[in-house]
Structure 1
Amino acid sequence: MEVKQRVREKFSDLESHQPEDLKKALLDLDVSLEELMEFLHDPEGKPYYRQLLYQDDHVEMIVMNWADIACAPHDHGHSSGWIRVMSGETKQTIYKAEGNELPKPLFTEIKEKGKLFFAPKKGIHKMGSQGDEPLVTLHLYSPPIRGMKVYDLETCAACVVSSDCGAWWPEEQRQRLEEIKLQRG
C-alpha cells in the first residue's frame, strides 16, 4: 500500500491527538526511508525541502530532506509534535525566550538515525544536518502548524510566517504575517 494512503488511513480515524497517542501512531506506521524517496527534492538554497504527506484539521505529516544549511531558530506556533530521523544525523539547538527577548541557546544535541524526539508547543529550536549521510526527517504535528515564529538572531527580530514558509526568514513579503523587534536580554 502506498505510504500516503497508509498515513491517511492511520490519521483520518485517529480519536486522540495527544502527544503520546501521536507518537504511538507514528511508530505503528513504521514508514521506511525507501517509501519517502519519491518525495525528496533539491532544497534549492533553503535549509530543507519539505513535502506534505497528509493534513487534516487535527494533524499534519511532513517529510524533509536537508541541505548543509541549518534552519533558523523557530517555534511551531500552537502546535506540538514528533520528529523522527529517517537518515543521517541532526544537530539540534534548544533555545529559551522570555517575553520579547532574543532567544538564548540552552543546549545542543545530536540525534541520529532512528531517533524520535518531541517538539513542544512554543518550544524554540533549530536543526541542521550533521555528518556525511544525507539528513531526512519525518515530522508529525498537531494541530497543523500555523503562526510559526522564525527568529533572526543577528538583526534581533522575529517573524510570524505563513504556513507555506519554512523555518527561515521569508523572502516574500506575503509570507511575513507579523514582524517583531526583539530586545537583547
Structure 2
Amino acid sequence: MEEPMLTELTGQGWMQILSQSFTTPAELPFVLSKRSLSVEKLVRLAQTSACDDEPYGRKILFKSPEIEVMLAKWSYQASASPHNHGFSKGLIWFVQGDFSERHFIFSEGELKSSGEPVQFKEGSVAQVVSNDIHSCCPVKDGVSLHIYSPAIQKMKVWDLKNRETLTVADECGAWIPKDLKLIANRVKWN
C-alpha cells in the first residue's frame, strides 16, 4: 500500500523541499521529517524496490518535468557506473548505510578519477551539480533518496569495459543497461 504522505506531496511540495535544503544539504532530513517523511517510512518503502539484477532498485516517488524524486535500495557493495545527471542538480540523502562517492573527469577520450573518494555516513546528504560525473557505492547495503531538478534527462553513463559513453533512457538507472532499448546513444572513446 502506498504511504499516504507520499501521495499528498505535489511537485510544488517537492520543489519547496529541494529549495529549502539545497544551500544547506544537512537540513534535508529535518525538512522531510516536518512533513512526516521518516527514515523508517523510507526504508520500509525501499524494500519494495529491491533488485538483484542491477546495483540498486529504483522506486520513483514523484516525477514531473520540473522535479524527480527517486528512492534507491542498494545491493550489497554494488557500485553505480560512473554517470552524470544531465542538466539536473539536486540532493542525495544516504538514508540507511554508509556510502562512498568517487568523482571523475572525462577528458581527451579518458575517464580519470578526480581526487580521493568521499565517505558519507548514514544520514549524510550530498549535493549533485549538473554534468558532474560520479559513482556511489554502499559500504555494505543501503537506501538513498534522490531529489533532482529538473527531472533527469539524457543521463550519460561511462562504460569502462567497452570504452564508450552511453546516453540512457530517462527510466534507466546509473548502470550499463542490459536492455539495448534503454541506450539512446553511444559514443566510442578515442
Bin the TM-score by the shorter chain.
0.7 to 0.9
Distance 1:42 1:181, change over 3 A: same
Which residue number in structure 1 is paired with residue 146 of structure 2?
139
Q: Which residue of 2 aligns with 1:55?
A: 63
Q: How does 1:146-157 map to 2 (within 5 A)?
A: 146-157=153-164
Give TM-score, length-normalised by structure 1: 0.86
The 5 Å alignment of 1:61-140 reads 61-68=69-76, 69-98=78-107, 101-106=109-114, 107-131=116-140, 134-140=141-147
The alpha-carbon distance between structure 1 residues 15 and 83, as it changes in their structure 2 partners (threshold 3 A), is closer
- CA 1:158 to 1:11, structure 2 compared with 1: closer, same or farther past 3 Å? same
The answer for the alignment partner of 1:28 in structure 2 is: 31
Q: Please state whether the residue corresponding to 2:170 is helix, strand or coil.
A: coil
What letter is aligned with 2:60? L
The superposition leaves residues 50-95 of structure 1 with CA deviations (integer Å, 9 ceiling, x where unpaired) of 1011112211111101012211000001111100010101111111
CA contact (8 A) 1:102 1:153 kept: no
Contact 1:19 1:81 in 2 (8 A): no
Partner Cα separation in structure 2 for residue 158 and residue 5 of structure 1: 36
Structure 2 counterpart SS, 1:29: helix
Contact persistence 1:52–1:63 (CA under 8 A): yes
Tell me what 2:5 maps to. 3
- Seen in structure 2, the aligned counterparts of structure 1 residues 102 and 18 have a Cα distance that, compared at 3 Å, is farther
Q: What amino acid is the match of 2:7?
A: Q
Instruction: Verify the 8 A CA contact 2:88 2:151 in the aligned structure 1.
Output: yes
Task: Give how far 1:9 is off.
Answer: 7.0
Asked if structure 2 preserves the Cα contact closer than 8 Å seen for 1:48 and 1:67, the reply is: yes
Q: 2:186 is matched with which residue? A: 179
Greater shift, 136-145 or 168-177, is seen at 168-177
Bigger share in helix: 2
SS in 2 for 1:97: strand
The answer for the alignment partner of 2:167 in structure 1 is 160
Q: SS state of the match for residue 86, structure 2?
A: coil
CA distance, structure 2, for counterparts of residue 137 and residue 21 of structure 1: 19
Q: CA deviation at 1:6?
A: 4.7
Using the aligned pairs only, state the percent identity. 23
CA spacing shift, 1:73–1:18, aligned 2, 3 Å: farther
Root-mean-square deviation over aligned CA pairs: 2.6
Secondary structure at the residue paired with 1:57? coil
User: How far 1:20 moved relative to its partner?
Assistant: 2.8
For this pair of structures, how many residues does the alignment match?
A: 180
The residue type equivalent to 1:129 in the other structure is P
Q: Which consecutive residues of structure 2, in runs of 5 or more, have no partner in the other structure?
A: none
SS at match of 2:110: coil
